[in-house]
Chains A and B, each alone.
Chain A
Amino acid sequence: MAKVLIIAEHDGTELNPSTAKCVTCAAQLPEADITIAVFSNSPGAVASQAATIESVNRVLAVADDSSEHALAATLAPQIVALMGDYDYAFGPSTTFGKDLMPRVAALAGVNQISDIMSVEGSHTFKRPVYAGNAIVTVKAPDGHPVVATVRTASWPAAGTGNSASVEEIANNAAVPSHTRFVELQSGKSDRPDLQTAARVVSGGRALGSSENFDIIYALADKLDAGVGASRAAVDAGYVPNDMQVGQTGKIIAPELYVAIGISGAIQHLTGIKDAGTIVAINKDEEAPIFDVADIGLVGDLFSIVPELTDAL
């Protein structure tokens, strides 16, 4: 039996959908027995949500005051204290998991498998390297726990309807005080979340200014879409960093991706290659984005985008 511990990502009240994607990945392991661990100062509500995910056998609610904010330095020792009972520890390849899981792996004395795209066997996985220009098959050593992050864009979220048992346990691990949360500045919006939206509209450097991004937002609202951006648009200060899509930003897999004024650097394409349908609008017909687009339209985005918004 493969005993898997999945670390829940949450904001204190809501379970992040990345957790249910980790479950889908873990369920591919032979004879998987899946536990979700919720670390929080008040884990009850999030643990109840986790218990509804299909394929989950049980949920551990680990309450500790130090877990009010997800800090790798305080969570890692708590996770390692539980790991003796498990063969696997999985987290999502979001900034939460990327920060946390290597710290867990190092304390457990193993290397981490980053960004699992597919499960090929009990210890064998595929993952992307070189900005997704190569896929490597990696075998983890037998006889050691497997610590990994799950590439969320490669896995659909597991369904709900389950009612797994929730067990409240106390934390016995010592947690350090050398790392302290100060604040989170969040560009909260009512638009669908970029990482889970079924449709995403993204703008690039060609937009030319922060104000001009309004036409991207207008189209997104018509499509009920999340909004993303290329690195160039973020670097230019048109939009905040949490909108960046690509190798070092968010890797997403919406049903529909509309790339507007984005040339399509390799690093950007890495972030969207799992999208269902890619639409590209660009004035340069030679732009590499057209090599991967399912539907391409060459022309001036400042006339095309408002026209498209009106036509929908």
Chain B
Amino acid sequence: MDKILVGLKRAVDYNVRVRVRNDGSGVETDGVKMSINPFDEIALEEALRIKERGEASEVIVVSIGPAEAQQQLRTGLAMGADRAILVESSESIDPLDRARVFLELINREQPGLVILGKQAIDDDNNQTGQMLAAIWDRPQASFASKVELNGDSARVTREVDAGLETIEIDLPAVITTDLRLNEPRYVKLPDIMKAKKKPLDQVPLAEFKIERSPALEETFFEPPSARQKGVMVNDVAGLVSALKDKGLI
């Protein structure tokens, strides 16, 4: 296949303990470390491995987000992507509109495969990949833990509640990644230098004449109700009696 398109979302880093703003308008993002959404890093790693096996010729990373998402795209280029596209917008963008932007990019680039993370760890929506496959009218293989390409089709093993499901899909298609698909590589310093010379196209979202979907309105953010700190027991006998007190055994 010719090209693989990979989505990289700029998201609050995995290790940050997120706090809700006092006025309920959102979560605190000032001065918070931002990274590539971890599932998207796995998506890029998979695309790079496919290319390194000689099964694709070009890996294009795409981010839809603020100008600062250039940082995440540069990291993606340092990991080994060939070029990057930033669809720039400072506003919040619903998943269906993200899918519509991806579809427009598909029409322009004609990739044989699109690999996205199964969910972003900020909004935890888990929608964009499935939506893209729907409006593209192509197969989806979500929550992938193993991908095998066989010419015009692919065998994908998916992590499902009942175990591991394998499906066969015709290409082109959308694959979304689960955690155990691979372990993303570390970026080395010389690669960071090299990545500065790779092409990064910046296109304003407005240039994509997509029809905007009816928007979901996020009206209020609040912290979750906290669990009360419980009691410590000293030994198994204490544990058994505490469980008995609660009527659990």
Instruction: Chain B residues near A114: list those with CB within 8 A.
Output: 124-127
Is the CB–CB distance between B165 and A184 below 8 Å?
yes
Q: How many A-B contacts if CB must be within 8 Å?
A: 254
Nearest chain A CB to B151 CB, angstrom units: 14
Find A140's partner among B131, B140, B216, B233 (CB 8 Å cutoff): B216
Nearest chain A CB to B232 CB, angstrom units: 5
Is the CB–CB distance between A307 and B123 below 8 Å?
no
Is the CB–CB distance between A312 and B240 below 8 Å?
yes
Chain A: which residue is nearest B118 at the CB level?
Answer: A248
Is the CB–CB distance between A134 and B223 below 8 Å?
yes
Instruction: Chain A residues near B130: list those with CB within 8 A.
Output: 72, 99-100, 102-103, 106
Instruction: Chain B residues near A133: list those with CB within 8 A.
Output: 17-20, 27, 223-224
B15-39 vs A, CB cutoff 8 Å, 1 = contact: the mask equals 0011110000001000000000000
How far is B217's CA from A100's CA once the two chains are assembled, in angstroms?
23
How far is B169's CA from A178's CA once the two chains are assembled, in angstroms?
6
Chain A: which residue is nearest B229 at the CB level?
Answer: A291
Chain B residues touching A, range: 35 or more
How far is B246's CA from A109's CA once the two chains are assembled, in angstroms?
49
Knowing A103-B133, A106-B130, A182-B166, the reply to whether A113 touches B233 (Cβ < 8 A) is: no
Instruction: Chain A residues near B223: list those with CB within 8 A.
Output: 133-135
Overall SS of chain B's interface:
mixed
Instruction: Chain B residues near A184: list those with CB within 8 A.
Output: 160, 162-166
Knowing A131-B124, A242-B162, the reply to whether A144 touches B180 (Cβ < 8 A) is: no
Interface size on A, residues (CB 8 A): 86
B177-198 vs A, CB cutoff 8 Å, 1 = contact: the mask equals 0111000000000000000000
How far is B223's CA from A132's CA once the two chains are assembled, in angstroms?
9
A215-256 vs B, CB cutoff 8 Å, 1 = contact: the mask equals 000000001000000010011000011100001101000011
How far is B166's CA from A114's CA once the two chains are assembled, in angstroms?
25
Knowing A136-B220, A181-B167, the reply to whether A297 touches B240 (Cβ < 8 A) is: no
B201 proximal to A (CB < 8 A): no
Please list 24 pairs of residues, one from A and one from B, whose beta carbons are closer than 8 Å in the complex, sorted by A's number. Answer: A94-B161, A103-B133, A111-B95, A111-B96, A131-B18, A134-B20, A134-B222, A144-B214, A181-B165, A185-B166, A187-B163, A199-B248, A223-B249, A248-B178, A255-B248, A256-B248, A273-B224, A279-B243, A294-B246, A295-B232, A295-B239, A297-B239, A308-B240, A311-B240
B contacts, CB < 8 Å to A: 12, 17-20, 27, 94-96, 99, 118-119, 121-135, 137-140, 142-143, 145, 155, 158-170, 173, 178-180, 213-224, 227-240, 242-243, 246, 248-249
